[in-house]
Amino acid sequence: MSRIGTSLQSVLIREISKNRTEISDLSRQLSSGKVATSYGGLGSDRSMALALRAEKSQIEGFRDTISLAQTRVKVMDAVVGQMRTQGTEMRSQLLVAGFEVLGNGQTQTQVQARSRLAEAVDLLNTDVAGRQLFAGAKTDETPVRPPDELLDGAGSMAGFRQIMDERRQADIGADGKGRLVTSASGPANVTLSEDAASPFGFKLASARSELTGATLTEPAGSPSSLSVDFAAPLPDDGQKLYITLDMPDGTQTELALTARTSGELKEGEFLVGADGAATATSFEDALSTLLIKEADTTLRPASMQAAADDFFVSGSAAAQRVDGPPFDSATGLRDASATDTVDWYRGDKSATPARESSLARVGENRLVPYGARADETPFSSMIKQFAIMSSATFDQDNVNDSDRYSEMRDRVSGNLGDSVRDKSIDRIVGELAIAQNSLGEADKSFEAKDNMLTNFLSDIETTDLNTTAAKLLSMQTQLQASYQVTSMLSKLSLTNFL
């Protein structure tokens, strides 16, 4: 009987030990809410839990990327909106700007344009956590040079003002006639010719005549020329001859020369003399004077625009400079070098579309493009116009400068308006909005998937507290019973049995 009691007691002790272990584990589950403290404790569900955890980790990485990209796009959208505002406000100012030159040779509107240039440069040099947002794929260096370097150069490198002045000389020419030459091939004949086959100065586009007795030969040849031959009957008073000229910025201007039979001559008027020769002489004088005036007031602002196009180039194109000196008789442009000309944009210059220069990976096979470059046309166009306004100088007492200022102002205003009218700025805003929407949709998708995975993991790793509590209570009851039986067995003996 003693051996039987001892054997039963050993079994009960093992059972008690097992129950205590289970109670301890259930107590841990009840306090932590977790089925096990390690993946090994999950048994056959271990592999599934590991796979789900790995997928959740990947989703977390994608969502981190999305969050960072969303922050960048929000900042970029704000910058583009501010650039648009800068252009619109500058254009509004120009529409009402008067010609009152300050002590520095510029108007108040020009001074404000210089401030806008500085702000535009700062906006395009915006970074988030050290990453440049408008440099394309080259994100570690500010893309746009400081305004002082843009305008005045750096060291031995020329800035925009020097390029603009060289271009002015090449377009206006040594005699101020816009690289056109007046001459006579006969006593009653006047010829107007381009001085060379070059990209500079006025170009003869067309001509038409109302002049009685005058034979007009329209522009032809290279370099192009036209001629007017006067013969009886001579022109009547008030009759006109028109010459249309192309200018370096792609615009045109028209000269009108008016015949007068008597009286004091005004600008653009010539005197019909006693014969064709006298009339031709007066016509040539009037034409020369008109060319000088038109070159100073209209051609110079067009030359500024051409210089800006030469200097503020985009992509991999090289800036252009007049191939001189001498500049006033130059016949071509040359590529600027890295040692003689400031490179205004130092960002990514690849042929990759700007938006694709930065990509956010938001899935195994999904990329969202959201890049931008400061040399994109809507941005560079504003920089050009602000630079032109910032660089030109005027003299209040110069008889031509008021007209020249008006011509410059109208061109700058028109070019600033182009980016608004053709919606080029708005297209960038729209493309960034598409990127923002794509990022948001991807994040929502990952959030839903992450919630689903969390539920799956919860089913595997998290214990049901009610079930665990019931099991714990049951095990505690069993343990108590085992203790009682063990206690009874420990008192069992032959004496007690008898």
pLDDT digits (tens, 9 = 90+) for 327-338: 999 999 999 999
- Per domain, the residue ranges of the chain are 2-59+444-497, 174-303
Element (H, E) at 225: strand 225-230
Q: Residue 420: is its pLDDT beyond 70?
A: no
Compute the average pLDDT of residues 433-447: 92
Q: Are strands 252-260 and 269-271 parallel, antiparallel or unpaired?
A: parallel
| pLDDT at 256 (0 to 100) | 98
| pLDDT at 59 (0 to 100) | 84
Region of poorest pLDDT, from 214-228, 288-302, 460-474: 460-474
pLDDT band at 497 (very low <50, low <70, confident <90, very high): very low
CA 486 to chain centre: 85
Q: Residue 10: is its pLDDT beyond 80?
A: no
Per-residue pLDDT of 263-273, as tens digits, reads 999 999 999 99
| C-alpha radius of gyration, the chain, whole number | 43
Q: Residue 467: is its pLDDT beyond 70?
A: no
Q: Which two tokens stand for residue 116?
A: 């806008």
Instruction: Give the count of beta carbons closer than 10 Å to the beta carbon of residue 452.
Output: 11
Q: Residue 90: is its pLDDT beyond 50?
A: yes
| pLDDT at 54 (0 to 100) | 76
Q: Residue 89: is its pLDDT beyond 90?
A: yes
| pLDDT at 490 (0 to 100) | 58
Region of poorest pLDDT, from 3-17, 101-115, 277-291: 3-17
pTM beyond cutoff 0.85: no
pLDDT band at 484 (very low <50, low <70, confident <90, very high): low
Compute the average pLDDT of residues 434-451: 90
Region of poorest pLDDT, from 9-23, 218-232, 287-301, 452-466: 9-23
Work out the burial of residue 227: count CB atoms within 10 Å of its CB; fewer than 13 is exposed, 13-18 middle, 19 or more buried: buried
As a whole-number percent, the residues of the chain with pLDDT over 90 amount to 72
pLDDT band at 38 (very low <50, low <70, confident <90, very high): very low
Q: Residue 493: is its pLDDT beyond 60?
A: no
Contact present, 240 and 269 (Cβ < 8 Å): no
Please give the mean pLDDT across all residues of the chain: 87
| pLDDT at 23 (0 to 100) | 56
Compute the average pLDDT of residues 157-172: 98
| pLDDT at 464 (0 to 100) | 47
DSSP 20-49: HHHHHHHHHHHHH-BS-SSGGGGGGGHHHH
pLDDT band at 365 (very low <50, low <70, confident <90, very high): confident
d(CA 254, CA 195): 19
| pLDDT at 33 (0 to 100) | 46
| pLDDT at 494 (0 to 100) | 47
**Alpha-carbon distances, residue 27 vs 42, 146, 478 (angstroms):** 17, 68, 15
